Amino acid sequence: MEKVVLAYSGGLDTSVMVRWLKEKYGFEVVTVIVDVGQQEDLKAIEEKAKLVGAIKHYTIDAKKEFIENFVFPAIKANALYEGKYPLSSALSRPLIAKKLVEIARKEEASAVAHGCTGRGNDQVRFEVTIEALAPDLKIIAPVREWKLTREEEVEYAKKYGIHITPKKHPYSIDQNLWGRSIECGPLDNPNQEPPKDVFEWTANPEEAPDKPEYVTVRFEEGIPTAINGENMDGVELISSLNKIAGKHGVGRIDHVEDRVVGLKSREVYECPAAICLIEAHKDLEKLVLTRHELMFKEWVDLYWGWLVYSGLWVEPLREDLEAFIEKTQERVSGEVRLKLYRGNVMVVGRSSPFSLHLEPEYDQSIASGFIRLWGLQTKSFHLKSKRER
């Protein structure tokens, strides 16, 4: 029998898929879950995969790879899609796709499958990456193909004795070390304030501590390496900062987002560490990069974020842009002091051996000549316009 490698989450969709892929295509199903810090019971998910019919299951710990190869480049690029979203889910998709391909090769499978719908961005992110890395593999998207409602999926599961864990809430949630994404239910109404039960990582700013907390982040060539003087690896640093900032209600995002497929979607995120680190990194860049580098990098960063959001991690332009970004990061080393208070993060101090802050030998007397030259063409325009009138 041919094999298919399925990106498995343990939820209703992917559990039903195991049976459906066997029934419709005659596949043997190998399931894979990639641990990017989603904080789930991975052992229970493995047991469920085998229970619903998978012939083999892989649990891959990719947290370190996720942070170092995907999140760190995003920090260097100050990646905020449409000025808001730190790309938490988007960054994990090409990594998961890469692991699916690796397991497919190992298992000599002829196809891979995912649980994305036809309405979202993830189908694009998975399939563009998989097709680039393994054009010979067939890609199957059962949810997009079968168009079953949740109620129909439940009936299908009951028919084949697939155990279903009742949902505790109406939301669709995706999370990893870099952030938590919440959709559906009351959030489908863009005019309704998110209910309190939407949030898990961040305190309600109104109920957060009434005393601010100061956090100092050290960067080395654009990469965060220490908090309050304590050296940490990427996974530990981001996990720690998520808790510290989340306690103060920092990191809540609520905005209307333009999806790749053309839809506008109301999105709610919790990204405490991401918001803090990007804010700190951008501020440090202002201290050490020239005006011209900063202006050009803003455009580069914007395009880098758009490529990643749009599922084009494997597009060569991303690496081209990163060549410029990496060059700028050679001087982005130093410390940034953050003040966390009731949902806000403020930069209140920064230092670097590469600081371009005001030099003491600045000669103020040269300013008048500069001003005359700087405004010369503007002045000439107005003089000429007056004569013509």
- Using a 10 angstrom Cβ sphere, with 0-12 exposed, 13-18 middle and 19 or more buried, the burial of residue 372 is exposed
Rounded to an integer, what distance in angstroms lies between the CA atom of residue 45 and that of residue 188? 29
- Which of 41, 141, 50, 51 has the alpha carbon at shortest distance from 97? 141
Choose the catalytic residue: 9, 89, 92, 93.
93
Torsion of CA 12, 14, 17, 19, to 10 degrees: -70
Rounded to an integer, what distance in angstroms lies between the CA atom of residue 298 and that of residue 301? 5
> Annotated catalytic, 13?
yes
Helical spans, DSSP H, in the chain = 12-25, 42-51, 63-66, 72-76, 88-107, 122-133, 142-146, 150-159, 234-247, 272-288, 291-309, 316-328, 367-374, 376-388
> Annotated catalytic, 365?
no
Question: Do residues 307 and 91 touch, judged by C-beta distance below 8 A?
Answer: no
Choose the catalytic residue: 172, 239, 265, 351.
172
DSSP state, 181?
A: E
Rounded to an integer, what distance in angstroms lies between the CA atom of residue 78 and that of residue 280? 10
Choose the catalytic residue: 15, 19, 122, 125.
122
> Annotated catalytic, 172?
yes
Sign of CA dihedral 48, 51, 54, 60: positive
Give the CA distances from residue 6 to residues 61, 91, 107, 116, in Å, rounded to whole numbers and listed in that order.
Answer: 17, 19, 12, 11
Rounded to an integer, what distance in angstroms lies between the CA atom of residue 219 and that of residue 226? 7
> Annotated catalytic, 188?
no
Rounded to an integer, what distance in angstroms lies between the CA atom of residue 331 and that of residue 97? 33
Residue 158: half-sphere exposure toward Cβ, Cα within 13 Å: 7
Residues annotated as part of the active site: 13, 93, 122, 172
